[in-house]
Amino acid sequence: MADVRAADSRAADPGSAELPGGRYGRYGRYGRYGRTGGDGRDARSDRRLRILGGVLGALAVVVIAWIGFGYVSGQQVSGEMIKFKVVSDRAVQVHLEVRKDAGARGVCTLRALAENSTEVDRKDVAVGAGGGDQVDTVVTLRTTTRATTAELMGCEERSTEGH
């Protein structure tokens, strides 16, 4: 009869020659890449993933910048409302700054809003081909009631003076 206690005591002995993962082969239970330490393959994989993430992130930034530049450079007339001032119950002054190509003509649309957000005036401001690439102008909007705010709806290129 075989001594079963001897076989059990070898398996339970932490100093025995056969480790619990020995039956899974050379790399143990979790395979070649599940090891921590040793040959450093995890560190190389992590480094490759970081490099790949950095390259993809940089590529995304370049694509977004390219699309944004194409959008901005495609507009020949663009404007910005610098400030507005309610001067009376029937008037609002708007300081408008328009950037355009040297020969471009355009129209910028402004509107004034009352306290309840109803539109009390809308005005199209023509920007002529003369002058430089930046035009500063102050426009007065004549309102039907007291306005509390003014906003620039947008600017667009127009090929003729009379829209």
pLDDT digits (tens, 9 = 90+) for 76-92: 788 899 999 999 999 99
> Do 107 and 150 share a domain, yes or no?
yes
Residue 49 lies in a domain: yes
**What is the pLDDT at residue 163?**
47
Give the single-character DSSP code of 57: H
60 and 129, same domain (yes or no): no
Q: What is the pLDDT of residue 136?
A: 87
Query: How would you class 79 by CB atoms within 10 Å of its CB: exposed for 0-12, middle for 13-18, buried for 19 or more?
Result: buried
Q: What residues make up the domain containing 31? A: 21-73
Phi, psi of 114 (to 5 degrees): -85, 180
Q: Which residues in the chain land under pLDDT 50?
A: 10, 16, 19, 161-163
C-alpha pair distances (Å), 40 with each of 35, 45, 48, 50: 9, 9, 13, 16
Identity of the amino acid at 26:
R
Residue after which a domain boundary falls, among 37, 53, 73: 73
Q: Which helix (H) or strand (E) holds 96?
A: strand 91-100
Q: Quote the CA–CA distance of 21 and 27 in Å, as a whole number.
A: 8
Q: Which pLDDT value is given to residue 140?
A: 94
The widest CA-to-CA distance across the chain, in whole angstroms, is 113
pLDDT attached to residue 88: 93
The region that residue 38 occupies, defined by phi over 0 for left and psi between -120 and 50 for alpha, beta otherwise, is left
Phi and psi, residue 38, nearest 5°? 80, -115
For residues 36 and 84, membership in a common domain is answered with: no
Domain membership flag for residue 16: no
Q: Which residues pair with 150 in a beta bridge?
A: 112
